[in-house]
Amino acid sequence: MAGFSSLDRHAPKMLSVLRIVSGLLFLEHGTAKVLGFPAVEGVPPPGLSLAGASGPLELVFGALLVLGLFTRPVAFLASGFCAVGYWMVHGQQGPYPILNGGETIALYCFIFLYICFAGAGPWSVDAMRGGRRRR
């Protein structure tokens, strides 16, 4: 439809919004595991567990994505982290994400992969530092 083409000019800003919101949600996973906030039932305290080891990475990756700092390499690493996490935790319980509880991490994986290719968007530290401004 011709009416939707007028939205194209907002695509770079919406890329920034996608990066910020997904970064904030990922950061929240890290704060729950590392700081105990928000308190989530069933999330073990930081330590030698897989959840304990993943918390600091979620915290760092989430914060860097929110800021849009080193966005492409961070998004690449976060995407791989999510892919490994999916197969280590959820994939063991069956192939269907809706049944194995892995929908969220699978979605994060592909959002971060997209951000790796698309860049940070205009509302980012990378853009302020003179990085490439891509949609």
The answer to whether the beta carbons of residues 77 and 84 sit under 8 Å apart is no
**Per-residue exposure over 46-85, b if at least 16 CB sit within 10 Å of its own CB, e if not:** beeeebeebbebbbbbbbbbbbbbbbbebbebbbebbbeb
Percent of the chain exceeding pLDDT 70 equals 90
So what's the pLDDT on residue 91?
95
**Between residues 107 and 43, the one the model is more confident about:** 107
pLDDT band for position 1 (cuts 50, 70, 90): low
Distances (CA, A) of 73 to 55, 67, 118, 123: 19, 14, 12, 17
The answer to whether the beta carbons of residues 118 and 15 sit under 8 Å apart is yes
**Between residues 24 and 36, the one the model is more confident about:** 24
**Extents of the domains making up the chain:** 10-128
So what's the pLDDT on residue 52?
74
The distance of Cα 92 from the centroid of its chain, to the nearest Å, equals 22
pLDDT band for position 2 (cuts 50, 70, 90): low
134 pLDDT higher than 60: no
